[in-house]
Homo-oligomer: A and B are copies of this chain.
Amino acid sequence: MTQHSHQTAPTQFVEANGIRFAYRHFGKAPDFDPELFLDGIDPEYLAELNDSIDVPLIFNQHFTGTMDHWDPAVIDGLAKGREVILFNNAGVSSSSGEVPTTFEEMGANAIAFIKALGLKKVDVLGFSIGGFVAQEIALQVPDLVRRLVLVGTGPRGGQNMATLTPEAQQIFGATYKVPEEIWLKVHFTDSEASQAAGREFLKRFLRRTENRDPEVNEKVAPAQIEAIGKWGVQRGGSYEYLKTILQPTLVINGDNDVIIYSINSWILQQNIPNAQLIIYPDANHGSQYQYPERFVRHVSDFLSEYDSYVSDFLSEDDAAAPAVFESTEQSGS
C-alpha cells in the first residue's frame, strides 16, 4: 500500500449513503512469518492463504473519538504487517452527516463506507462503542467480515451497560486542566505503573501535529449516549445474538475496566462460538495502550494464524487437519 504512518497518512474522503466519510489508509500487506504456520503446511493451503490475507483491518473508534484518538504505537505496529484503515463514522469530526442514535445505523453507515472503498472482505476491530459497531457490521453483512477483534467492549444488554457506570459518570463529569488527561482516567488504572504508561500514551497520542482531525462537535456525545442506552438495556436472552457471530473473534480487555466492566468481555467470549479471550493485568479500558507491543503481537498473530485460518475457509472435517499433526510426528524426534 503506502509507506505512510499514523503520523503522516493523509486524510482522504469517500462518499456513501449521502455521507462524506473521512479516512486514512496505509500499511503493508503481510510477509509470512513461518513461525505462525504448522509444520508441513500444504502448498495449496499456503496459496489460498496468500490470496486471503490481502484483507485490510478497519478500526472503529470509542465514544467521542476521532482518527487521532488511536495510539500510533498500536496502529503503526499493526500496519507493519497489514493494511489498516482508520475512519470517522457519520457525523464524527471530519466526516459529514449526523451521528445516528442506534448502533444498528452506525453499523449500516460503516458498511456503506467499507463498500464504497470497493472492499469485499475486511477484518474489523472495534474499541469500546466501536466494538458495538464492529458487532453490527458482522451481524448485518457476515460475508464482509473475515475476523473480528473486540477491545474493551461488551454485548447488547451487558452488565452495567445501559447507563454510564458510576466510575464513568465521575470521570466524564470532571474537568481537567489539560483536556487530554481525561484519557489517563478512562484508559488506565490508578496504579503508578499504569499511570506512567498513560503519560507515555499521551505523548504518542499528540505526536501527529499536522492535519489532525477536528474535535467532535457538541451533537456527537448526546447521540452516542442515546445509542448506548438502547444498546445496553438488559433483556432476557440478550446474548443469544452472539451465537450468530461465526467469525473467529479475539476479545481483549484490561482486568479492571471501569468504563465497560471487564466481565462483559468474559460474556462475549462465552457466547460467541469461536472467540478467544485475552485479559491484561492491572489495566483499565485502554489496556491496548498500556501494553501496545503485546497487543500488536496478539492481534497480529490472531489475524495471521493458520489454526484459525482453517476454520475460516475449510470444512469442519478438513479443519481436523490430520496431515498437520502427522507432519509434526515425522519431525518430532
Taking Cβ atoms with an 8 Å cutoff, the residues of A that contact B are: 5-8, 35-36, 38, 72-73, 76, 192-193, 196-197, 199-200, 203-204, 207, 255, 266, 269-270, 272-282, 291, 293-294, 297, 301, 305-307, 311, 316-317, 319-320, 322, 325, 328-329, 332-333
Instruction: Give which listed residue, B204, B274, B307, B329, contacts A207 with CB less than 8 A.
Output: B329
Contact A279 B276 (CB under 8 A): yes
Closest 3 CB pairs of A and B: A196-B320, A277-B279, A200-B325
Shortest CB distance A278–B (Å): 5
Instruction: Give which listed residue, B207, B274, B301, B320, contacts A281 with CB less than 8 A.
Output: B274
This chain's copy number in the assembly: 2
What are 27 A-to-B residue pairs whose CB atoms are below 8 Å? A6-B332, A38-B293, A72-B332, A73-B328, A73-B332, A192-B320, A193-B311, A196-B317, A196-B319, A196-B322, A197-B320, A199-B320, A200-B320, A200-B325, A204-B329, A204-B332, A207-B332, A255-B270, A272-B281, A273-B281, A274-B282, A276-B279, A276-B280, A277-B279, A278-B279, A294-B305, A297-B301
Contact A282 B277 (CB under 8 A): no
- Determine the residue in chain B with the shortest Cβ distance to A279: B277
Shortest CB distance A189–B (Å): 11
State whether A273 and B282 are in contact (beta carbons under 8 Å apart), knowing that A73-B325, A200-B325, A294-B307 are contacts in the complex: yes
User: Which residues of chain B are near A269, meaning CB under 8 Å?
Assistant: 255, 279, 281
Shortest CB distance A316–B (Å): 5
Contact B276 A281 (CB under 8 A): yes
State whether A297 and B35 are in contact (beta carbons under 8 Å apart), knowing that A266-B266, A269-B255 are contacts in the complex: yes
Most chain B CB inside 10 Å of its own CB: which residue of A199, A274, A293, A305? A293
Shortest CB distance A75–B (Å): 10
User: Which residues of chain B are near A333, meaning CB under 8 Å?
Assistant: 5, 7-8
Cα A155 to Cα B281 in complex, Å, equals 17
Cα A76 to Cα B266 in complex, Å, equals 31
User: Which residues of chain B are near A272, meaning CB under 8 Å?
Assistant: 281
State whether A316 and B193 are in contact (beta carbons under 8 Å apart), knowing that A5-B333, A8-B333, A329-B204 are contacts in the complex: yes
User: Which residues of chain B are near A328, meaning CB under 8 Å?
Assistant: 73, 204
User: Which residues of chain B are near A38, meaning CB under 8 Å?
Assistant: 293
Additional pairs, 20, CB under 8 Å, beyond known A204-B328, A255-B269: A7-B332, A7-B333, A72-B332, A73-B328, A192-B317, A193-B319, A193-B320, A196-B316, A196-B319, A196-B322, A197-B320, A200-B320, A204-B329, A272-B281, A273-B281, A274-B282, A276-B281, A278-B278, A293-B307, A294-B307
